[in-house]
Structure 1
C-alpha cells in the first residue's frame, strides 16, 4: 500500500484507511517477541547431551545446587563483569525473580528493616520511582503488590537525577526505582556513567532503598555497542553494597520460554534471597543451565551469537525508521527514538492522539501495545507515547503494518486539529 502524502486531506486518508481495513490483515506487534528466524539460531541447544555431569561432578538431572551450577554462574559473570559468588541462576524468567524479590521485601523486609507491607497496612504504602516511558511489566508488579508508583522523566542519559535525588533524600517511603539501563524499553535510552554514579552514591532517607537493575538488553546491540558502568561495583565503592539487585536473562538470546535468568547483588542480599528461595524450591533447572554452558562455552561465543541476532533485527529497525522518516518527517505529527540496540522504538504522537492511533490500527488489523502501557497505571498524561515492537513480523508484514500505522497517526492528528 502506498502511504498517502503529507498534504493528503483527512477525507482522502480515511478512504485509504477503509481500503486497508478491507484487507482484513492480522499483524501483531504488541510484544517484543523474537521471530522464528531468531529462535532458529539457537536450535542446537535442543540437541541431546551425552553427559549430565557438571564440572564438580553433580548429576544435573537430580536435586541440588540452589544458586545454580558453578560453570553457568562463571559464564555469565565473565560475560557481564559480575562476581559468580554473588549470583543466583534462576529459571527461564528474570521477571519471576523480580516479582519474587519484591514480594519477599513486602513480606519479610531486608537487612532487619520492617517488611514493606507494614506501611501498606498502616495506610501509607511504600513507593517506587518509575522512569517513564518504561516497561509495563515492572509497573504491573507494583500494582499487584500495592506499591505506589511515581513517574520520573527519562532523559537521554537516564532518569532525571535532579528529581530522583531530591525525592529519595526527602521521603523514607520511597523504597526503590526500576531501571532498564541499556537500550531501555521502549525508548532505547542508555544510562550514562554519571547517572550510574549518582544512583550508586545518592543519599536516601530509606535505609532499605533498592535499585532494581533490569539489564535485559545489556548485550543487545544492533547499530552500536554501548558500554555500561558496573552498578554493583559503583554501589560497593560508595558504601552501598546491598543497594542494587541486578537482573539478566537469555530470554531474547536463546528461547523466551526456556532460557536462563540470574540475579546478582551484594553478599547480604544473596544470603537473604537464598534463605527465602530454600523454602520455595530445591533447585532450578540445572539441565537447562548445563545446556546453555555446553552450547555457548565462552562469552565470546555469546557475543558472536548476538551479532547474528543483530543482523536479523537490523533490517526490521531500518525499515521502521525509514518508513517513519518518509511518512512523517516534517509533519509535526510525531517524533520517535533512534535506538542503538534493544527491541523497541518509542514514538510520541501529538498530545491526545496515541489512544486513537492504536484503536484505529487495531481496527485495521495491526495490534500494538496499548497506549499508556509505558506509564505507571497505564496513564500517559499526554496520551502520546506508543511502543513499536518490530521483531516478530516478517519484513513484508512489517512493511504493511507500518503503512497502516502511519496512516492512523495522520488521521488521529488531523481529527484532533479539526476538533479544536
Structure 2
C-alpha cells in the first residue's frame, strides 16, 4: 500500500518500527561511502599493466621522443584510438593531461579572458554572462561556472535530454547566454542518453549569442553496464551543416577507464576551436605528458582494446548497480515514496524521494555512518528547489557494502517520508 494511503495509526506504527530499526544501526559502526563516482580497487587493478609501460627503451612514437618537450596536441597514436571511439577524424582530437575537467575549466577561462573564435570581445567585457544547466546535473560543471561568476540557469533534464523547448526559447532571446553543460551519454547523475532529435536541435538551434558553446562532456561514452556500447553522434558535422561549425567542445578522458589519478584527457572540436585552444595552452605548457600517452596507446592497442577493457569494468560494477536497485526496491517499492533511475551505463543512480525530505534523508544516513553527496549538489548553487534528488554512487564500495549502504539509504528515505507525512 502506498504510504499516502495508510491510515494515521498504521503510519505511526510504521514510523515507530522504522525508528527502532534505525536506532540499531548506530551500534554497527558503519563507515560506508556513496559520495563520489570513484572506480573501485578491483577496477583499478584491471590497468596494472600500465605501470610497466611504455617500458625502458620504449620512448619513440614514430619519430617523436616522448621524453622531451613539445607535441602540444598529444600523440597521434592515442588520438586515433579515441577518435575512432568518438566517430571523428584523428585530426579533430587532441590529447592532454589527466583531467577533462581541466580542459573544460580552460575552455571557459580562455573564453572569459580572450573570447572565442566567434566572439566580438572577451566574455569578461560582456554586460552579463549566463549559462544553461540541465538538472539534475554534474556538480563539478556547476562549480566552474560559479567560480567564474557566470549566472547559471537550470533547465529540466529528461530521459532523452534537456527540455529543448525551454532551451531554444532561452537561447534565441538572450545573447548573454553563452553555453550549456551537457553529459549526453549516461548523464551524471540520471544516466540519461540524449536522443537523435535532441542532439539535432542542439546543433541546429538559433542562438542570440554568435559564440554560443555546447560543452559536450562524453565522460561515460564507453562506460556501458550492458553488452552494448552506445551510438556516438558526430555533433561537429551536424553543427557545421547548420552553419555553426564551432558550436561543440567535446571532451572525454581515460580517468575512469584506467587510473583515475593518471589518465589522459581529450578535446574534440572544429579546427578553429582546436587552434584557438592550443594557442592559449602553449603559453602555459610546453606539452602534455607524452610518456603516459604512449603507455596508454601501448596498453589499449586500438579502439577495440578499449571496448574489451570496458567490458571487464562492466563485470565488476554491473552487479553493484543490480544490488543497489534490488535493495531500493525491497525497502521502498511497496510504499510509492521514491523513484530511482536504472541506468544502462555511467557511474550513478539518481534517487528521487518525497519532496522536502532529501536533506533529511542524507542527514539520517550520515548519522549512522553512510556518507552521501549533499542533497542539492546536482543543482546550481547546491539548491534543489524541491529538496528531492540524491545522487548515489555504487562503484567504489565492495558489493556487500553496496547492498548494506543502499538498504540504509532506503530505510532513511522511508523514515523521512513517514515523519513528513505525520507532520503534515
TM-score grouping bracket, smaller chain normalisation: over 0.9
Query: Post-superposition shift, 1:79?
Result: 2.1
Q: Following superposition, which runs of at least 4 residues in structure 1 exceed 2 angstroms of deviation?
A: 50-56, 223-226
Task: Check if 1:231 corresponds to 2:238.
Answer: no
The separation in 2 between residues aligned to 1:113 and 1:414, in whole angstroms, is: 56
The separation in 2 between residues aligned to 1:194 and 1:156, in whole angstroms, is: 13
Task: Check if 1:117 corresponds to 2:117.
Answer: no
Task: Check if 1:170 corresponds to 2:148.
Answer: no
Alignment of 1:213-228 (within 5 A): 213-223=216-226, 224-228=228-232
Alignment of 1:335-350 (within 5 A): 335-350=339-354
Which residue, out of 201, 204, 210, partners 2:204? 201
Query: Post-superposition shift, 1:257?
Result: 0.5
Q: Which residue of 2 aligns with 1:132?
A: 135
The separation in 1 between residues aligned to 2:419 and 2:60, in whole angstroms, is: 63
SS class of match (1:216): coil
Tell me the TM-score normalized by structure 1: 0.96
SS class of match (1:150): strand
Q: Which residue of 2 aligns with 1:148?
A: 151
Q: Which moved more, 1:375-384 or 1:226-235?
A: 226-235
Q: Which moved more, 1:48-57 or 1:64-73?
A: 48-57
The separation in 2 between residues aligned to 1:392 and 1:404, in whole angstroms, is: 17
Q: Which residue of 1 aligns with 2:264?
A: 260
Query: Post-superposition shift, 1:104?
Result: 0.5
Task: Check if 1:44 corresponds to 2:25.
Answer: no
Q: Which residue of 2 aligns with 1:101?
A: 107
Q: Which moved more, 1:77-86 or 1:275-284?
A: 77-86
Could you tell me whether the CA contact under 8 Å between 2:358 and 2:388 is conserved in 1?
yes
* Unmatched 5+ stretches in structure 2: 1-9
Could you tell me whether the CA contact under 8 Å between 2:87 and 2:232 is conserved in 1?
no
* Unmatched 5+ stretches in structure 1: 1-5
CA RMSD of aligned residues (A): 1.2
Task: Check if 1:308 corresponds to 2:312.
Answer: yes
Task: Check if 1:281 corresponds to 2:288.
Answer: no
Which residue, out of 378, 386, 390, partners 2:394? 390
The separation in 2 between residues aligned to 1:226 and 1:266, in whole angstroms, is: 23
Q: Which moved more, 1:47-56 or 1:66-75?
A: 47-56
Could you tell me whether the CA contact under 8 Å between 1:209 and 1:243 is conserved in 2?
yes
Task: Check if 1:411 corresponds to 2:418.
Answer: no
Residue-by-residue CA offset, 1:382-414 (whole Å, 9 max, x unaligned): 000000100000111111111211110011101
Task: Check if 1:211 corresponds to 2:220.
Answer: no
Tell me the TM-score normalized by structure 2: 0.95
Q: Which residue of 2 aligns with 1:269?
A: 273
Alignment of 1:362-381 (within 5 A): 362-381=366-385
Which residue, out of 31, 38, 41, partners 1:33? 38
Query: Post-superposition shift, 1:25?
Result: 0.8
Alignment of 1:69-84 (within 5 A): 69-84=75-90
Query: Post-superposition shift, 1:95?
Result: 0.2
Which residue, out of 21, 26, 37, partners 1:21? 26
Query: Post-superposition shift, 1:288?
Result: 0.4
The separation in 2 between residues aligned to 1:53 and 1:39, in whole angstroms, is: 24
Could you tell me whether the CA contact under 8 Å between 2:132 and 2:152 is conserved in 1?
yes
Could you tell me whether the CA contact under 8 Å between 1:54 and 1:69 is conserved in 2?
no
Query: Post-superposition shift, 1:218?
Result: 0.5
Q: Which moved more, 1:44-53 or 1:309-318?
A: 44-53
The separation in 1 between residues aligned to 2:155 and 2:149, in whole angstroms, is: 19
Query: Post-superposition shift, 1:351?
Result: 0.3
Could you tell me whether the CA contact under 8 Å between 2:86 and 2:232 is conserved in 1?
no
Residue-by-residue CA offset, 1:59-118 (whole Å, 9 max, x unaligned): 111101011011111111122212221222110100011001101100000124211111
Q: Which residue of 2 aligns with 1:293?
A: 297
Could you tell me whether the CA contact under 8 Å between 1:221 and 1:340 is conserved in 2?
yes
The separation in 2 between residues aligned to 1:141 and 1:73, in whole angstroms, is: 26
